[in-house]
Chain A
C-alpha cells in the first residue's frame, strides 16, 4: 500500500493544511476510513444492467408464448412501479440505488414504448415519432429528478428520432449527405436545448453533457461527409471549422476534452483532405508522420498553456 500520511502530517504541522481536512485525509491515507460507495454504485449499476438485459432477452424470446399485451402490460407495470419508487424515495435520505431505480425505470419504459410501437404500429407510417415520445419522457424525468444519466437517454432518443443511431451505420456510406445533415440538425437542437436550459436554470449541471453530445454529433456529421468522395472537401472544411470552434470553446471554458476533440477530429479531417490530394503512397505516409507529430506537439503545447493559465 501507499500512504502519504507523513507528508500530510508535515503539512498540518506547518499550518499549510487545516486540522479538519488533514484528519480526513490522514484517515483515508492510513485506510482507517475507506468509503466503498463508488464500488457499491458500480455493483448496483451492473445489477441493473443485467436485469435490463435479461428482460430484453426474455421479451425477444417469448414474444409468441406470452402474447404482446401481457408483455407490454408487464414491462409497463414494472416501469411505472420503479418510477413510483424513485418518486417516493426522492424526498427521503439519499440512497445508493436511487439513480439506478430511475435508470431501470427509464430503460424499461423505453423498451415498452418501443415494443408497443413495433407490435401495434399505433403511429403507422410515422412510427419513428415514438423516439420523440421516448426523448420527451426521459427529458421530463431527467429534469424532475435532476438525472444526467436519464438525460443522456433522452438525447440519444432524440438522435434516434432524427435517424442517427448505431444500427444505421451503413447509412454513413449509403446516404452521407442526409446522415450528416441529421447529425448537424441534432447537434444544433442539442445546442439550442443547452442554451435554453442554461438561461432558465443558471445552476444547471446538464451543460457539460449537452456540450459533449453536440460536439461529437457535429464532428461525426463532418466526418460522414469527409469519407464520401463527392462531399469530401466540404466535410473536411466543416471538420476544421468545428475543430477551431472546439479549440476556442475548450480554452475559454478550460475544458481539456474539447481541446483534445479539436486536435484529434481536426487532424482526421485535415488528413483525409490532404491524403486525397496526394497520389504517391510514400508522400501520404510521410505526410501522416509529419501531421501526427504536429498534432502531438500542438496538443501538448495547447494543453500545457491552458493548464498554466488556469
Chain B
C-alpha cells in the first residue's frame, strides 16, 4: 500500500466517467461529493479546527503546543478518513489537511516577514499534492503571487508578468492529454485564476506605482496574455482558456478606462453593447456549424450562477443621487427605505 493512498488513474477516470454518464461503471471505492457540498464541508471544517485551536488557547496551553495538537488532530483525522472511509473529494479531508498544515506553521516562531507567505504556500502545495486538489494548488500559487506583490513597491508589472506566464504555461500544459482528471482541473484552474490574481495584486499595489506607464504596461501584458490564451483556446477548443482570455481582455479594458475621455456611464453602456454584440456576432457565425465550435443549446454551467448573481445585482443597495425633491415629503413613513426609490431592479443606486 502506498504511503499516501489515493485514487489510481483508472479510479479517477472511472469517477469522471460516472459523472459524465451516471451509473456507467462510475463506481469507485472513493467517496466524492458535489461542489456545493464540498464548499459547505470545507467551511464547517475550518470552523471546527478554529474552535479546537481557540479551545486549546483558552486552556492556556502554549501557542506551539496548541498548533501542534491542532495540526496532528486535523491531519490525523484526515488521514483516518482517507484510509478507513475512503474520503477523497468530499471537502472534509482537504479542509482538514489544509488547516492542519497551516496550523503546523504556528509551531515555528513568527518572524513577521513577508517570507512567511512562502511557508503557507508550501503548506498549501503539499496539501494539494497529497489530495490531488486543484483548490489547494491554486491557493499555493496565489500565496506566491501575494509574496511577490509584498516584496516590492514597484512590482506591479512583474507580478502581472509572472501570473500571466503561469497562466500561459498552464494553457500550454492543457494541450497535452492528461490521464488524471485532477491534473487537468489544476491546470485549468491555474489558467483561469492566475491573470485575475495578478490583476488584483496590481490593484493592491496601485498607490505605489507610477500611473500612466504602469497602466499601459499592465494593460499590454493582459492583452498579450489574453491573445496567447485565446489562440491556444481556439486551437485546442478549450473552454477554460477561452474564459481566461475573456477575463484578461475584460481586465485590460478596465485598466485602460482612464485613457478614454468619456463618462463612466458611457463607457459602461458602450462596453455592454460591444460585449453583447460580440456574443451575438459569434452566435450568428456559428449557428449553422456542426463541427468545431458550435452553439448547440446545452444546459449552461453558468445558468444558476447567473440567476443568483442577477438577483443579487438587482437587489437594491446604495443611495440615489441627491437632487431637488419635487414631490411631497413622506414624513410619516417609518422604514429605512424612505425617500429613495428602488427594489428588485428598480433601485436608484443600482
Q: Is B150 an interface residue (CB 8 A)?
A: no
Asked if B177 and A300 make an inter-chain contact with CB atoms under 8 angstroms apart, the answer reads no
Given contacts A32-B291, A118-B320, whether A152 and B307 have CB atoms under 8 Å apart is: yes
Bound together, the chains give a CA A90 to CA B274 distance in angstroms of 24
Asked if A47 and B236 make an inter-chain contact with CB atoms under 8 angstroms apart, the answer reads no
Q: Is the interface of A mostly helix, strand, loop or mixed?
A: helix
Bound together, the chains give a CA A43 to CA B328 distance in angstroms of 43
Q: Is A260 an interface residue (CB 8 A)?
A: yes
Residues of B close to A55: CB separation below 8 A: 265, 269
* Contact code string A264-304 (vs B, CB < 8 Å = 1, else 0): 10000000000000000110011011001101100110011
User: Contact check: which of A1, A4, A152, A292 meets B236 at CB < 8 Å?
Assistant: A1
Considering only CB atoms, which chain B residue lies closest to A281 in the complex? Answer: B58
Considering only CB atoms, which chain A residue lies closest to B179 in the complex? Answer: A2
Asked if A34 and B341 make an inter-chain contact with CB atoms under 8 angstroms apart, the answer reads no
Asked if A17 and B21 make an inter-chain contact with CB atoms under 8 angstroms apart, the answer reads yes
Residues of A close to B238: CB separation below 8 A: 1, 31
Bound together, the chains give a CA A147 to CA B271 distance in angstroms of 26
Asked if A47 and B279 make an inter-chain contact with CB atoms under 8 angstroms apart, the answer reads yes
Asked if B315 and A166 make an inter-chain contact with CB atoms under 8 angstroms apart, the answer reads yes
Asked if A45 and B306 make an inter-chain contact with CB atoms under 8 angstroms apart, the answer reads yes
Asked if A50 and B176 make an inter-chain contact with CB atoms under 8 angstroms apart, the answer reads no
Q: Is A94 an interface residue (CB 8 A)?
A: yes
Within 8 A of A (CB), among B31-83: 31, 33-34, 36-37, 40-41, 44-45, 47-48, 51-52, 54-55, 58-59
Bound together, the chains give a CA A73 to CA B176 distance in angstroms of 57
Residues of B close to A60: CB separation below 8 A: 320-321, 348-350
Residues of A close to B24: CB separation below 8 A: 11, 16-17
* Contact code string B263-304 (vs A, CB < 8 Å = 1, else 0): 111111111111111111011001000111111111011110
Bound together, the chains give a CA A288 to CA B227 distance in angstroms of 50
Bound together, the chains give a CA A48 to CA B178 distance in angstroms of 37
Interface 9-residue window, one of A121-129, A186-194, A235-243: A121-129
User: Contact check: which of B236, B242, B267 meets A36 at CB < 8 Å?
Assistant: B242
Asked if B278 and A43 make an inter-chain contact with CB atoms under 8 angstroms apart, the answer reads yes
Given contacts A96-B280, A288-B47, whether A40 and B295 have CB atoms under 8 Å apart is: yes
Bound together, the chains give a CA A275 to CA B54 distance in angstroms of 15
Chain B contact residues (Cβ within 8 angstroms of A): what range? 35 or more
Asked if A168 and B341 make an inter-chain contact with CB atoms under 8 angstroms apart, the answer reads no
Within 8 A of B (CB), among A151-185: 152-154, 156-161, 163, 165-168, 170-171
Bound together, the chains give a CA A154 to CA B292 distance in angstroms of 39
Q: Is A200 an interface residue (CB 8 A)?
A: no
* Contact code string B227-241 (vs A, CB < 8 Å = 1, else 0): 000000000111100
Q: Is B212 an interface residue (CB 8 A)?
A: no
User: Contact check: which of A53, A106, A157, A167 meets B350 at CB < 8 Å?
Assistant: A53
Given contacts A165-B316, A296-B92, whether A31 and B272 have CB atoms under 8 Å apart is: no
Bound together, the chains give a CA A54 to CA B313 distance in angstroms of 13
Residues of A close to B105: CB separation below 8 A: none
Residues of A close to B266: CB separation below 8 A: 54
Q: Is A248 an interface residue (CB 8 A)?
A: no
Q: Is B181 an interface residue (CB 8 A)?
A: yes
Considering only CB atoms, which chain B residue lies closest to A288 in the complex? Answer: B51
Interface 9-residue window, one of B117-125, B162-170, B330-338: B330-338
Given contacts A4-B13, A167-B316, whether A156 and B47 have CB atoms under 8 Å apart is: no
Asked if B344 and A156 make an inter-chain contact with CB atoms under 8 angstroms apart, the answer reads yes
Bound together, the chains give a CA A60 to CA B306 distance in angstroms of 25
Given contacts A35-B296, A38-B301, A103-B310, whether A292 and B321 have CB atoms under 8 Å apart is: no
Q: Is B184 an interface residue (CB 8 A)?
A: yes
Bound together, the chains give a CA A120 to CA B326 distance in angstroms of 7
Q: Is A257 an interface residue (CB 8 A)?
A: yes
User: Contact check: which of B243, B337, B345 meets A128 at CB < 8 Å?
Assistant: B337
Asked if B283 and A110 make an inter-chain contact with CB atoms under 8 angstroms apart, the answer reads no
Asked if B294 and A57 make an inter-chain contact with CB atoms under 8 angstroms apart, the answer reads no
Q: Is B256 an interface residue (CB 8 A)?
A: no
Q: Is B314 an interface residue (CB 8 A)?
A: yes
Given contacts A114-B347, A153-B344, whether A50 and B55 have CB atoms under 8 Å apart is: no
Bound together, the chains give a CA A121 to CA B333 distance in angstroms of 13
Residues of B close to A2: CB separation below 8 A: 16, 177-181, 184
Bound together, the chains give a CA A166 to CA B337 distance in angstroms of 10
A-B contact pairs, 30 of them (CB 8 A): A1-B184, A25-B20, A31-B237, A32-B292, A33-B292, A33-B294, A37-B295, A41-B279, A42-B300, A43-B278, A44-B280, A55-B269, A57-B268, A60-B348, A61-B265, A107-B314, A110-B346, A120-B327, A156-B344, A157-B343, A166-B317, A170-B336, A256-B37, A260-B36, A260-B37, A292-B47, A296-B44, A296-B45, A299-B37, A299-B40
- Identify the 7 closest CB pairs spanning chains A and B, nearest first: A114-B346, A56-B350, A47-B276, A118-B341, A50-B272, A160-B343, A54-B268
